[in-house]
């Protein structure tokens, strides 16, 4: 495989062929490909100068910012492995990921420094390897990001990076209550970028807007795609979602592509007609909607708001990459489906519990065979073995295929909740609530939410003779788990009201159906 199958080499190539073109910008500044390339080389040199070795992991904690792209590029150039961390997590969650990844350096945005300061004593990182960007002045105990870049050697480091080497550990929420580090290679990045460009018809004249967090696979995959193509990336660096601000950015930046979740579209569509009419979004030619089902009226309204937009919907995962796509001409006729095989995704199999393929119309576990599949879970061979059957990969989603080959998801990753595009596993929230001394048992389910798609609902059985209140348990969660994972409400039930299998496992889907029926 060519060395060009790395993000680093792609940016270097565009720095040679179109040095003055803007490669990436946010609301604060812009980088030409030449400047992007130069800063990545200096940062790579600075990190190696701190004693890091190729293969070492570097944790990253930041809101969306232009720095994500130069950091990802510098790490690739130095042969270091990125460990992006969701900025919505709380201290214990961040500490677990840093410890599990055995990170040897930590790059942090100044606004998130207080969180890291509280857990710093628990982390396996030398005091000299904490880097800080975004601070207005030097901060004791932290290496100043810009000062390190300015002082470093300008030439690329002499590090040989192979396509199969790790690019990133992407931590995904785990069904056992702990996140797992999905290992993504440079080769996987390159192949998914090529497949993305092919499926969406993207090229160097496009401008892609990244709205989803750059710690997530969605924005990482699309960011790498645009970087490899030599297109322009616009990073939406607002801390909270503002639908009118997004429309304004789409218009003023002449964006041609963006990827959003249904919540984003719904909030834009809810703006007054007079507000929507202020913004010329005719440049938007391609739109992606993903991470949660979208209704017919929502899709039709999206196409009305973006008159030149072609709407795509896809299904995939951090581990498998893109798996299926529902193309623009299929959006209404195949509503409820996630489409058919993605270009270059290989193939899909739906298997029963014995590993046999199920007939069309029957439910089976979805396995895909992709050229860009992940390399396994970091330090977790058992979960890696569970995810694969030979070359076929599964993340536990159940689906059925109709007679025309369209895939319909039935149950997402062992009752996973998707709220505002964030994946939430009930077991993680259940583990936290179960630690409360007055809780005997708990089940967490997703319930429909007009704004977020789903919200988190906890169903609790208290210990005998205990009287914990809803407010008390919600406060218990507040300092222990990220806000998007916290229950929005708690229902108390008697032990016999919790539906179980013959082996005693709680039946989450049945519990959800009962509650929805009760409150309908």
Model confidence pLDDT, tens digit, residues 383-398: 999 999 999 999 988 8
Q: Model confidence at 518, in pLDDT bands (50, 70, 90)?
A: low
With CA atoms as reference, report the closest residue to 227 among 6, 1, 2.
Answer: 6
| Residue among 64, 57, 121 nearest 87 (CA) | 64
Distances (CA, A) of 515 to 26, 185, 417: 44, 43, 16
For residue 66, which of 110, 29, 20 has the smallest C-alpha distance?
29
Per-residue model confidence as pLDDT tens digits over 336-373: 899 999 875 568 999 987 889 999 998 889 999 999 99
What is residue 422's predicted lDDT score, i.e. its pLDDT? 82
Half-sphere exposure of 60 (CA within 13 A, CB side): 27
Burial of 134 by CB count in 10 Å (0-12 exposed, 13-18 middle, 19+ buried)? middle
Q: What is the pLDDT of residue 495?
A: 79
Mean pLDDT of 493-519: 72
* Burial of 269 per CB tally in 10 Å (0-12, 13-18, 19+): middle
Measured in whole angstroms, the distance separating CA 360 from the mean position of its chain's CA atoms is 31
Of 216-220, 271-275, 471-475, 500-504, give the lowest mean pLDDT range: 500-504
DSSP 277: T
Residue 396 near residue 414 (C-beta atoms within 8 A): yes
- How many alpha carbons lie under 13 Å from residue 427 in its C-beta half-sphere? 14
Q: What percent of the chain has pLDDT over 70?
A: 95
pLDDT at 503: 39
Residue 8 has pLDDT above 50, yes or no: yes
Mind listing the pLDDT tens digit for each residue in 130-154?
Answer: 999 999 999 999 999 999 999 999 9
Query: Each residue of 266-300: pLDDT tens digit?
Result: 889 989 999 999 999 999 999 999 876 677 888 99
Tell me the domains of the chain and their CATH numbers. 1-22+30-184 (3.40.50.12780), 417-518 (3.30.300.30)
Q: What does pLDDT average to over the chain?
A: 91
pLDDT at residue 413, rounded to an integer: 57
100-122 average pLDDT score: 97
- The Cα 473–Cα 311 span in angstroms is 42
């Amino acid at each position: 495989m060519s060395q060009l199958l790395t993000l680093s080499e792609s940016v270097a190539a565009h720095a040679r062929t179109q040095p003055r073109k803007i490669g990436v910008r946010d609301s604060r500044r812009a980088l030409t490909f030449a400047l992007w390339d130069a800063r990545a080389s200096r940062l790579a040199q600075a990190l190696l100068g701190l004693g890091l070795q190729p293969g070492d992991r570097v944790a990253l904690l930041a809101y969306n910012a232009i720095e994500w792209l130069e950091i990802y590029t510098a790490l690739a150039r130095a042969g270091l492995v990125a460990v992006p961390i969701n900025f919505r997590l709380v201290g214990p969650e961040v500490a677990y990921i840093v410890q599990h990844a055995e990170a040897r350096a930590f790059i942090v945005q100044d606004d998130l420094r207080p969180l890291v300061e509280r857990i710093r004593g628990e982390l396996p990182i030398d005091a000299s390897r904490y880097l800080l960007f975004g601070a207005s002045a030097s901060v004791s105990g932290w290496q100043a990001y810009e000062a390190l870049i300015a002082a470093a050697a300008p030439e690329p480091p002499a590090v040989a990076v192979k396509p199969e080497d790790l690019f990133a550990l992407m931590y995904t929420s785990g069904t056992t209550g702990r996140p797992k580090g999905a290992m993504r290679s440079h080769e996987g990045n390159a192949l998914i970028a090529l497949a993305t460009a092919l499926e969406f018809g993207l090229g160097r004249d496009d401008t892609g807007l990244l709205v989803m967090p750059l710690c997530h696979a969605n924005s990482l995959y699309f960011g790498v795609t645009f970087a490899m193509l030599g297109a322009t990336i616009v990073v939406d660096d607002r801390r909270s979602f503002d639908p009118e601000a997004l429309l304004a950015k789409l218009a003023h930046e002449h964006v041609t592509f963006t990827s959003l979740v249904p919540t984003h579209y719904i909030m834009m569509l809810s703006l007054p007609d007079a507000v929507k009419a202020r913004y010329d979004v005719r440049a938007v030619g391609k739109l992606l909607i993903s991470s949660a089902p979208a209704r017919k009226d929502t899709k039709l309204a999206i196409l009305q708001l973006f008159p030149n937009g072609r709407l795509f919907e896809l299904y995939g995962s951090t581990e498998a990459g893109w798996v299926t796509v529902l193309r623009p001409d299929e959006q209404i006729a195949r509503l409820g489906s996630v489409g058919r095989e993605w270009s270059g995704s290989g193939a899909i199999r739906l298997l029963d519990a014995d590993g046999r393929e199920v007939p069309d119309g029957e439910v089976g576990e979805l396995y895909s065979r992709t050229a860009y599949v992940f390399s396994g879970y970091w330090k977790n061979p058992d979960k890696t073995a569970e995810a694969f059957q030979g070359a076929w990969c599964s993340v536990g989603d159940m689906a059925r295929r109709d007679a025309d080959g369209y895939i319909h998801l039935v149950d997402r990753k062992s009752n996973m909740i998707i709220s505002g595009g964030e994946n939430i596993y009930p077991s993680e929230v259940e583990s936290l609530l179960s630690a409360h001394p007055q809780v005997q048992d708990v089940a967490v389910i997703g319930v429909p939410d007009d704004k977020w798609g789903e919200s988190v609902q906890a169903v609790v059985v208290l210990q005998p003779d205990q009287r914990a209140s809803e407010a008390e348990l919600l406060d218990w969660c507040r300092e222990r788990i990220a806000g998007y994972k916290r229950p929005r409400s708690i229902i108390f039930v008697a032990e016999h009201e919790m539906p179980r299998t013959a082996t005693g496992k709680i039946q989450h889907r049945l519990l959800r159906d009962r509650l929805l029926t009760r409150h309908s």
